[in-house]
Amino acid sequence: MAYIPLFLRASAETPALIVGGGAIAAAKTEALASVGAQVEIVAETVGESVRALCSQHGFKFTEAPYQAEFIKGHAFVVAATDDDDLNGRIAADSRALGVMVNVVDNPPLCDFIFPALVRRGPLQIAVSSSGISPVLARLIKHKIEQAVPSAFENLIHFMDQKKMAMREAFRSIQPRRLFYEQIIRGPIAEEVLEGNAERADALFEAALAEFPKEKQAALYLIGAGPGHPELITLKAIRLLSQADVVLYDRLVSPVILDQYARKDAHKIPVGKTRDHHHKKQEDIGALMERHLRKGDIVVRLKGGDPGVFAHGAEEIEIARRVGCPYQIVPGISAANGCAAYAGVPLTERDGAKGVRLMTLYTKTLHQADFWEGLRFSQNDTLVFYMSTPHYVLLCEKLQGIGFHPDTPVLVVEQGTTPEHRDYVSTLARFDAELGEHAFISPSLMIIGDVVRWHEQNSWKEAPAQASAYFAPLPEREDEHSPKEAQNA
């Protein structure tokens, strides 16, 4: 059962209605009163606890048998009696009158549920398990309470006081938003939290005078890591949250976009797979340049590390041509992530002393110089990206230049994701054992003596059934999406 998180208003004109007068009703009355809601209570008998709360908060109560007429004119209803049949009637009557209802401890009858709530003045943080585990929601609430000190209420009031000054100073949304973030993340907020009002005001006025008032373009090349959404850096999360436009690869976990990109950011898929380029590199460059020239903050979000097979230099050149600042934010590469989840070291004392990261382009498959260059890498770890169609030929070629037939081979499929799966073989046996296997993209091949550590160090369990973690690419669209066409 899905619940949409909303914050409802229960004013004096349309208060909440609680049906019940005992301990359950008292608990809900107190919870609603704590967030400033207006409440009315109806029950045949109103207990002392409820009466005391009504007196304290100025709530109205009525002692009378329940009738459906009581529901009219209320923002929502809470059925808090100890009579299951009566609670069911209240729920049915509420729905018939188009009023949302909560039946305490009976989720199937609820239109909404009460979350665990962290409140810092006007700031409210709601936590819900959709009614499955209130204890879990409460424990998470306690963690948030530790992370968000009570003094945050002062910061909320400070921001409220300065809101009009910021609106007058910033006519564009982007610089206003960035200024807000600077306040919240920086020394102004620290002074507010410590209660140093005069110092906070002085810092605010100085910052407001100095901060750019117009849109400022920037380009951030960000590595999202090899697949698992937690394998992304704190800096990447911070910069991603600033983006007006996010150009993202297929191999970026959707969780990262959902959790860290702004909901109003323009998110454009620009992923590629073999024989299917949803956006060609020149298309990506044109998109990037167009948005930078409009003054947007553009994040180019790439799976793995933006410096490994990722066109980073070409994209930085666009920022240099436009004349805007840029940053490169490294990410955990597929080689590092896949090897770690497979329990394999990429280097080893008295073993592999080097690592080579490569890909097999079609034009290099039969170039003698390429293979000759690998002849002296037999004591290195070789990692091949984007080479799945050529695995069999690769194993044959390496044996042909002197690699021992028993050299171990590891293919990691969808590494670090919940669909992570390892396949181990050797150069000589690979064709017979895995030559016909259709590996799910992305897959990475690791070759070298270090693979022998997999058997004893592997810790990531394979899923029961193989399935794709990353969504397939959409069909190639016109250069301008409808939204872009309107703004072009």
Instruction: Tell me the CATH number at 372.
Output: 3.30.950.10
In the predicted structure, residue 278 carries a pLDDT above the cut 80: no
> Per the structure, how many domains does the chain have?
4
Q: How far apart are the C-alpha atoms of 331 and 349, rounded to whole Å?
A: 25
Task: Tell me: do 236 and 328 sit in the same domain.
Answer: yes
pLDDT category at 488 given cuts 50, 70, 90 is very low
Structure tokens at 78: 């809470």
Say if residue 370 is in the same domain as residue 416: yes
Residue with tokens 């948005």: 291
Domain region containing 305: 218-332
Which percentage of the chain shows pLDDT scores above 90?
81
Is 242 in the same domain as 291?
Answer: yes
Percentage, residues of the chain above pLDDT 70 = 95
Same domain (yes/no): 228, 199: no
User: Which pLDDT score, from 0 to 100, does residue 479 have?
Assistant: 41
With a cut of 70, say whether residue 113 has pLDDT above it: yes
The answer to which of 261-275, 376-390, 419-433, 453-467 has the lowest mean pLDDT is 261-275
375 within a domain of the structure (yes/no): yes
CA distance 287 to 270: 10
The answer to whether residues 342 and 453 belong to one domain is yes
- Residue 12: the pLDDT is 86
- pLDDT the model gives residue 475: 63
* Residue 294 shares a structural domain with residue 378: no
What CATH number does residue 54 fall under? 3.40.50.720
**381 bridge partner residues:** 355
Catalytic, 249? Answer yes
How many whole angstroms separate alpha carbon 199 and alpha carbon 193? 11
Confidence of residue 61 (pLDDT cuts 50, 70, 90): very high
If asked whether residues 452 and 352 sit together in one domain, one would say yes
Per-residue confidence (pLDDT) for residue 279, from 0 to 100? 76
Catalytic residue among 141, 272, 294, 431: 272
Instruction: Check whether 309 has a pLDDT greater than 50.
Output: yes
pLDDT recorded at residue 427: 98
For residue 413 the two structure tokens come to: 């499929």
Q: What pLDDT, on the 0 to 100 scale, is given for residue 326?
A: 97
pLDDT for the residue numbered 482: 41
Active site residue 72: no
pLDDT at position 485 over 60: no
In a domain, 96, yes or no: yes
Residues 168 and 253 in one domain: no
User: Using CA atoms, how far apart are residues 482 and 328, in angstroms rounded to an integer?
Assistant: 30
What is the predicted pLDDT for the residue at 165?
Answer: 95
How confident is the model over 151-201, as pLDDT tens digits?
A: 999 999 999 999 999 999 999 999 999 999 999 999 999 999 999 999 999
Please report whether residue 445 resides in a domain.
yes
CA atoms of 426 and 445, how far apart (whole Å): 11
Pairing of strands 39-43, 60-63: parallel
Within a domain: 297: yes
Among the three residues 316, 332, 348, which one is the final residue of a domain in this structure? 332
Tell me which of 28, 162, 244, 249 is the catalytic residue: 249
| Domain end residue (candidates: 279, 309, 332) | 332
